[in-house]
């Protein structure tokens, strides 16, 4: 078997290179762990019925990758977008770059997209030191039971990942980090095992003092009248961060408890109304979940049931308009009001979700593995606060409009039901058919049937995949329930976005972790959601997207490793003959060279092509950019620590993400040249 032979060869080479008893013991333990886990998860075997890319946390550490966001930037077909409050999201294959919820993030088996935006921005800054493995599926679907992501799904496994009947694989470590913009970070991971009881916890804290030049804000466009142009600002946007998280996972026999809390405080960036805020103005995202699960193996089937609760909070405390601005009174549009001291606001919305799932896995039928189950959930808003400057410009201080003029529907509530059925049918030793369907129903939308069919054919080291799938994206709560807001308003009549996806893939495996992958995709997107000219969310257009992706990973000699990918995406919108704000070409690669057994040199290169604008946007297309990172990684095998130093964007390339039309005319600038140094100590 190729896998076992490769393991044997790798063990022999390791023995010759590192003739040290402690090192050999650690390597042999790691190899045994890899083989056992690979048998269960097929992490090293791309036979799954998806277009999937996998990265290991330890490899990303060696490269100098700092967090989950930077890791996702290496994935083929994945771009990053942001908005006026710097709420970043991953964009898969150019699918609706100004919408959230296009992809799902699942951390240790728990979907963590927040309720308000249906985004996961606060998790994007999770340090790579607590991440064991990342699996990214491009296209509809997900490996998680019943979760049917729209454009892609991201599964993050921390070192809490637990496999029954295997030796513990917890990583006990501490780490310290420092970098540009006065960045400081620290954290630890710790596992404990006693008989049937396993407890794992991780914690991190990080902060920075990031301010980046913004260009002139929305007032310069004249959208608020020529008089107000004089109040437009051109300064550095407050993009600073203050972030911590605590996670706990407890396994006892067949029971598992998972809990995590994330606190994410961020400068108000480009302003809720696209007017530059004050330096200390901020938003806060609080995300917490608690889940209790039971996994039980019976004679002919397995039971997997979960019950959980999630709490999400969005909070903003900021100056929303500068001193002197004169605008129509939202409560009386016939009268203009001058806000001599500026317009200020505190906005808060708290949501919670209760959910329960039950899935049964039947394996009594020959060559069939059938899984069926359901997910039910209730999401609801339980607190809305709206305090602003007096709308008539008369009363001093802030006035409480939480009851009379709330920015969000305080009665927002949504019930959802997902019924799921799937069968993995092994036609023979080389051919597997997966077919199934999700029935999905939630408040405000009609019932949806989302089928998925995938055929995987294996011929020696050649793998072929043929996939059809349908999925939906429910409108986010921001798109449904936002009200009394001049920048955006919700619409309860929105239909869900739908996609029918056709994918073909070919994979050539050369060894355990060396491969070439090529895939074609054709996506039929309908009822895409965006803001219209009145700043109301609407189903805007249908979009056909097609293209291909290539991915290659190999060893070069005995001391070098290369990984590279290229993606091409194009298509047409039903309103015009191209896709706006999407890069047609993206190229990403990294190279690791072993200077000696303890010291590596690393290079990371990324290229993102230019992006055309909407026809209503009179700006030139957004220019392409390319960055190169250079780093060194030193690992002490004897003392079990490593130090990584990396210079990011060494040529100080001008990286920008597209802004909404007639807001920030110079788009959203990103970091220039910077550095990061990391220290990690394992125990």
H or E segment at 32? helix 21-41
pLDDT exceeds 90 at position 332: no
What CA dihedral angle connects 140, 144, 146 and 152, to 10 degrees? Answer: -20
pLDDT category of residue 165 using cuts at 50, 70 and 90: low
DSSP code at position 416: E
pLDDT at residue 8 in the model? 38
- Tell me what the pLDDT averaged over the chain comes to: 90
Separation CA 381–CA 413 (nearest Å)? 6
Residue 229 to residue 227: CA distance in whole angstroms: 6
pLDDT of residue 370: 93
Answer whether residue 106 shows pLDDT above 60: yes
Helix (H) / strand (E) element for 28: namely helix 21-41
Q: In sequence order, what DSSP letters do the residues of 314-337 get, joined into one string?
A: EEEEEEEE-TTEEEEETTEEEEEE
Predicted local confidence at residue 445, as pLDDT: 87
* CA 288 to chain centroid: 17
Look at residues 384, 571, 565 and name the one whose alpha carbon lies nearest to residue 485.
Answer: 384
pLDDT tens sequence across 413-427? 999 999 999 999 999
Give the integer Cα–Cα distance in Å for 469 and 435. Answer: 10
- Which fold would CATH assign to domain 42-682? Maltoporin; Chain A (2.40.170)
| DSSP E strands, 147-240 | 152-158, 173-179, 183-194, 197-208, 211-216, 234-238
Residues 6+ apart with CB under 8 A from 364: 300, 301
Averaged pLDDT, 590-595: 95
State the Cα–Cα distance between residues 96 and 411, nearest whole angstrom. Answer: 28
pLDDT digits (tens, 9 = 90+) for 13-23: 343 334 344 44
Q: What are phi and psi of 30, to 5 degrees?
A: -65, -40
Please check whether residue 382 is in contact with residue 321, taking contact to mean a CB–CB distance below 8 angstroms: no
Indicate the pLDDT class of residue 9, thresholds 50, 70 and 90. Answer: very low
The position carrying tokens 């996609």 is 499
What is the DSSP secondary structure assignment for residue 127, as one 8-state letter? B
Question: What pLDDT was estimated at residue 170?
Answer: 64
Q: How far is CA 371 from CA 164, 365, 377, 596, in A?
A: 20, 12, 20, 49
Contact 68, 107 (CB under 8 A): no
Tokens representing 617 are 């946007």
Closest CA to 443 of 415, 471, 409: 415
pLDDT band for position 167 (cuts 50, 70, 90): low
Residue 136: which pLDDT band, with cuts at 50, 70 and 90?
very high
- When pLDDT is cut at 50, 70 and 90, the band that residue 144 belongs to is confident
pLDDT for 383-403, tens place per residue? 999 999 998 888 889 999 999
Which helix (H) or strand (E) is 682 found in, with range? strand 674-682
Where is pLDDT greater, at 25 or 127?
127
Please name the residue that has the structure tokens 């002490």: 636
pLDDT band at 168 (very low <50, low <70, confident <90, very high): low
Q: Residue 41: its pLDDT value, please?
A: 45
Query: CA 181, CA 675: separation in Å to the nearest integer?
Result: 9
Lowest mean pLDDT among 3-7, 112-116, 502-506: 3-7
Q: Which residues contact 390 (CB under 8 A, 6 or more apart)?
A: 396, 399
Banded pLDDT at 596 (limits 50, 70, 90): very high
pLDDT score, position 35: 44
Domain residue spans of the chain: 1-38, 42-682
| End-to-end Cα spacing for the chain | 34
Q: What is the mean predicted confidence (pLDDT) over 129-144?
A: 91
pLDDT digits (tens, 9 = 90+) for 261-271: 999 999 999 99
Give the pLDDT confidence of 275-327 residue by residue, as tens digits.
999 999 999 999 999 999 999 988 888 999 999 999 999 999 999 999 999 98
228-262 residue pLDDT tens: 999 999 999 999 999 999 999 999 999 999 999 99
> What pLDDT sits at residue 146?
85
User: Per-residue pLDDT tens for 31-74?
Assistant: 444 444 544 444 446 789 999 999 999 999 999 999 999 999 99
CB–CB of 458/433 below 8 Å?
A: no
Query: Which residues on neighbouring strands pair with residue 437, listed in sequence order?
Result: 421, 451
pLDDT at 450: 95
């Amino acid at each position: 078997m190729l896998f076992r032979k490769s393991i044997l060869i790798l063990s022999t080479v390791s023995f010759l290179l590192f003739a040290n008893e402690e090192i050999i013991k650690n390597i042999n333990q790691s190899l045994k762990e890899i083989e056992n886990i690979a048998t269960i998860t097929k992490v090293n075997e791309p036979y799954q019925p998806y277009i999937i890319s996998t990265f290991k946390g330890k490899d990303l550490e060696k490269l100098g990758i700092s967090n989950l966001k930077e890791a996702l930037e290496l994935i083929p077909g994945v771009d990053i977008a942001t908005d006026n409050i710097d709420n970043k999201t991953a964009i898969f294959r150019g699918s609706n770059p100004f919408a959230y919820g296009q992809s799902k993030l699942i951390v240790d088996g728990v979907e963590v997209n927040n309720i308000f935006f249906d985004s996961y921005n606060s998790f994007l800054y999770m340090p790579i030191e607590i991440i064991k493995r990342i699996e990214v599926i491009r296209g509809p679907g997900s490996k998680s039971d019943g979760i049917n992501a729209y454009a892609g799904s991201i599964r993050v496994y921390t070192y809490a990942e637990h496999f029954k009947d295997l030796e513990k694989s917890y990583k006990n470590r501490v780490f310290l980090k420092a970098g540009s913009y006065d960045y400081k970070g620290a954290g630890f991971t710790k596992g404990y095992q006693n008989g049937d009881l396993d407890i794992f916890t991780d914690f991190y804290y990080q902060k920075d003092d990031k301010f980046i030049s913004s260009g002139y804000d929305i007032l310069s466009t004249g959208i608020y009248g020529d008089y107000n142009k004089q109040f437009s600002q051109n300064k550095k946007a407050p993009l600073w961060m203050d972030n911590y998280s605590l996670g706990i996972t407890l396994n006892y026999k067949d029971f598992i408890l998972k809990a995590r809390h994330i606190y994410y405080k961020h400068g108000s960036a480009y302003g809720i109304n696209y007017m530059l805020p004050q330096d200390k103005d901020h938003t806060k995202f609080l995300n917490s979940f608690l889940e209790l699960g039971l996994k039980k193996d019976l004679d002919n089937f397995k039971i997997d049931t979960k019950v959980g609760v999630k709490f999400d909070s969005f909070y903003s405390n900021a100056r929303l308009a500068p001193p002197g601005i004169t605008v129509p009174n939202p409560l009386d549009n016939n009268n203009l009001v001058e806000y001599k001291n500026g317009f200020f606001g505190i906005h808060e919305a708290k949501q919670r979700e209760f959910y329960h799932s039950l899935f049964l896995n039947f394996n009594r039928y020959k060559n069939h593995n059938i899984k069926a189950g359901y997910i039910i959930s209730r999401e609801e808003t339980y607190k809305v606060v709206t305090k602003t400057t007096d709308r008539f410009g008369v009363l001093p201080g802030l006035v409480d409009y939480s009851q009379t003029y709330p920015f969000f529907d305080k009665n927002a509530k949504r019930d959802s039901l997902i019924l799921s059925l799937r069968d993995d049918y092994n036609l023979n030793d080389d051919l597997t058919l997966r077919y199934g369907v999700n029935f999905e129903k939630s408040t405000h939308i009609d019932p949806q049937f989302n089928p998925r069919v995938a055929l995987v054919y294996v011929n020696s080291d050649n793998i072929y995949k043929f996939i059809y799938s349908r999925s939906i994206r429910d409108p986010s709560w921001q798109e449904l329930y936002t009200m009394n807001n001049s920048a955006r308003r919700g619409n309860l009549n929105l239909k869900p976005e739908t996609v029918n996806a056709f994918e073909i893939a070919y994979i050539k495996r050369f060894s355990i972790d060396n491969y070439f992958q090529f895939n074609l995709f054709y996506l039929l997107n309908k009822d895409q959601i965006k803001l219209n000219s009145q700043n109301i969310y609407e189903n805007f257009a249908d979009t056909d997207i097609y293209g291909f992706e290539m991915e290659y990973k190999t060893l070069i000699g005995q001391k070098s490793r290369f990984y590279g990918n290229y993606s091409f995406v194009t298509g047409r919108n039903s309103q015009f003959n191209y896709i706006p704000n999407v890069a047609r070409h993206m190229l990403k690669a990294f190279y690791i060279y072993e200077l000696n057994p303890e010291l590596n040199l690393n290079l990371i290169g990324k290229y993102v092509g230019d992006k055309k604008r909407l026809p209503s946007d009179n700006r030139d297309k957004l220019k392409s950019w390319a960055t190169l990172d250079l780093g060194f990684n030193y690992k002490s095998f004897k003392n079990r620590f490593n130090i990584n130093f990396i210079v990011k964007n060494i040529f100080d390339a001008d990286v920008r993400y597209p802004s909404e039309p007639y807001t920030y005319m110079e788009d959203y600038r990103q970091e220039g040249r910077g550095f990061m140094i990391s220290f990690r100590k394992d125990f």
